[in-house]
Amino acid sequence: MIRVNGVSKTFGSGEAATRALRGISFEIAQGETVAITGPSGCGKTTLLHILAGIERMDEGEVWLGDSPIHQLSENKLSELRLRKMGFVFQSYHLVPVLRAWENAAVPLLAAGISQKEAKERALEALGQVGLANWANHYPGQLSGGQNQRVAIARAIVGKPELLWADEPTGALDTDTAEQIVGLLEMLNRHLGTTLVIVTHDPRLARRAERTLRMVNGRLLHEGGKES
Ligand SMILES: Nc1ncnc2c1ncn2[C@@H]1O[C@H](COP(=O)(O)OP(=O)(O)OP(=O)(O)O)[C@@H](O)[C@H]1O
């Protein structure tokens, strides 16, 4: 369960201040798929970064289960990210000199798991995203859709409770984007992972169980009312 209560964030100060988030509150249930949508600059990525403890909030509370993100130290937040979260980005963020399985194994190696076990689990994750036969390829030898699958394998390799995806289909053509969306849905169903997707893509947003619409740092509730 994710509980967000009165979260605000301003970048800069004085005349250069940007109020990126203005008192946002909502809840997401365990296992739910939620899309966060809204125009460019409305605060979607800032919200995602605050939920994941990458960015600090100025005011408010974020609870991930019984962990208070607003109170945890940087060390505790890093530990929580390694243990409980997976991340998927528009631009994949793969390491070009590592093979697909090595990229997928990175979070396990960072968590101190042995090379042997990390490889086994990375290969299993690549199998789950349909890339069992591509494990020894480098990112430069794979298509955009395949690279995003490797990134998804890396995101799920630690069996996270939470998967954050920021514009996961933004760099992909329509058919490939559809396949990636289908894959994320399948993983959400099979692994019971809570999935939070930031997206401009209306097709992706429609497929989520629920959509949170943002405008100018606030949530727009159904019926168009801001709060
Ligand atoms: N590190 C930062 N320093 C200063 N301003 C920032 C910073 N990060 C975000 N902003 C500003 O905060 C506002 C919200 O940005 P954010 O990236 O969260 O929006 P977004 O909805 O994700 O946009 P997009 O869809 O274009 O990615 C914008 O006005 C942006 O310029």
Q: Domains of the chain (ranges plus CATH)?
A: 2-220 (3.40.50.300)
Cα angle: 42, vertex 46, 48; to 5 degrees = 110
**Tokens 């590592």 belong to which residue?**
98
pLDDT (0 to 100) of residue 40: 92
Residue 104 CA, ligand 1 centroid: distance in Å? 29
- Give the Å distance between the CA of 45 and the centre of ligand 1: 7
CA of 201 to the centre of ligand 1 (A): 18
Nearest residue (by CA) to ligand 1, atom 30, is 41
Instruction: Give the DSSP letter string of 73-130.
Output: -HHHHHHHHHHHEEEEETT----TTS-HHHHHHHHHHHTT--HHHHHHHHHHHHHHTT
In the DSSP assignment, the letter for residue 109 is: H
The pLDDT of residue 223 is: 46
Can you tell me whether residue 198 is helix, strand or coil? strand
Find the radius of gyration of the CA atoms of the chain. Answer: 18
pLDDT at 143: 95
Map tokens 């101190």 to a residue: 112
What integer pLDDT is reported at residue 226 of this predicted model?
Answer: 53
Quickly state the pLDDT bin for 203 (edges 50, 70, 90): confident
Atom 29 in ligand 1: residue holding the nearest Cα: 41
**pLDDT reading at 160 higher than 50:** yes
Q: Name all residues whose Cβ lies below 6 A of ligand 1.
A: 11-12, 18, 20, 38, 40-46
Which region among 125-129, 154-158, 181-185, 200-204 has the lowest average model confidence (pLDDT)?
Answer: 200-204
Nearest CA to ligand 1 atom 2: 11
Distance from Cα 22 to the centre of ligand 1, integer Å: 13
Ligand 1: residue of 7, 22, 36, 42 to mutate (most ligand atoms within 8 A of CB) is 42
User: Candidates 21, 45, 50: which one to mutate for ligand 1, based on the most atoms within 8 Å of Cβ?
Assistant: 45
Q: How confident is the model at residue 201 (pLDDT cuts 50, 70, 90)?
A: confident
- Span of 33-47, 87-101, 142-156, 202-216 with lowest mean pLDDT: 202-216
Residue nearest to atom 3 of ligand 1 (CA): 11
Confidence check: pLDDT of 216 > 70: yes
